Amino acid sequence: MEYVKLGTTGLDVSRICLGMMSYGDPTLLKWCLDIDGARPIINKALDLGINFFDTANVYSRGRSEEITGEILKGYRDDVVIATKVFFPVEGYVSDPKPNKSGLSRFHITHAIKDSLKRLQRKYVDLYQIHRLDPFTPIEEILRSLNLLINNGTVLHIGASSMFAWQFAKSLWKAERYGLEPFRTMQNHYNLCYREEEREMLPLCKDQGIGVIPWSPLARGFLSGKYTRNGNPDDYIRARTDKYMKPRFFKPEDFDVVEQVVEIAQEKEVTPAQIALAWLFSKDYVTSPIIGATKIEHVEQAVEALSIKLSEDDIKRLEEPYKPHLILGHS
């Protein structure tokens, strides 16, 4: 395993972050695993040197945090745990109960207490805003999060999908008012979605922000199992993930994935490993957040660290890309 600094936090994290969204309540997400299914995969990740784990309070309505806390409770000094706040844990995302979502000080204060209880922790290593709250001023959000740093319940704060100007504004506000800034950006970035290369990623590189992309395999689209003439509903993820088919499966997306498959065949590795190796080749990427529902998914992700892509490989992978509408900010 390789380790890198997480932005300017001073923390050493594995080049791979294990996404805990895959573990929770299968009655809510049919493709996720319960605690018995999650345990061997997480144990394998630990054995392979992964020390970075990302969850959120909204995943399986809190069950993901509970599984994370239960399995990792014996590794307090050996792992870096990240979780998130914004979406409602109870009720419907489209019609949440009053004060049960967003980034008001009221909601943040209650949400961190609930997350710590589920995680069986006294503090969270990295507390991220899952999305930006348009109804709460960024200065207020930062002050609320800084209170958590000051009282010892949070070590560092991070942000997730937003526009680069919004993130730049947050960094400026933090500097102006002497507040701890967001140290990380968890953004949507993979071979099929590269809009972040325009402004967000150069900003993060310039400001020393840790970049931990979500959906590095495009929700499994880059695994190569989906084909241009195939039926995506043959796979449970595509059948039950409401975001997958609207975001991918366009002709230009298949142009990319077919190039991934071709290079994978040449190197005798899997398409997913090529997609990850491409991310590892970018010096501004800290740790892609991978989802794993099988032990071999973790093993193959770690093996991808040793795959070296040539300049020609990278050119072939990137050439088919066409601009996309903004995906994942809402």
Q: Where are the beta strands (DSSP E) in the chain?
A: 3-5, 12-14, 17-19, 52-54, 80-85, 124-129, 154-160, 184-186, 210-211, 289-290
Residue type, 173: K
Q: CA distances (Å), 312 to each of 142, 259, 283, 308, 317, in order?
A: 43, 12, 18, 11, 9
- The Cα–Cα gap between 290 and 307 comes to 17
Side-chain half-sphere of 246: how many Cα atoms within 13 Å? 8
Q: Catalytic residue, from 3, 23, 59, 177: name it.
A: 59
CA distances (Å), origin 297, targets 42, 68, 270, 294, 303 = 11, 18, 10, 5, 10
For residues 281 and 309, give the distance between their C-alpha atoms in angstroms, rounded to a whole number: 7
Candidates 68, 55, 53, 46; CA nearest to 1 is 46
Determine whether 177 is an active site residue: no
Report DSSP state, residue 59.
G
Could you give the CA distance from residue 270 to residue 324 in angstroms, rounded to a whole number? 26
d(CA 285, CA 308): 15
254's CB contacts (< 8 A; 6+ apart) are: 227, 228
C-alpha dist (Å) from residue 42 to 193, 226, 270, 293, 305: 28, 26, 21, 10, 18
Q: Token pair of 250, please?
A: 């366009």
Beta bridge partners of 52: 17, 80
Residues known to be catalytic? 59
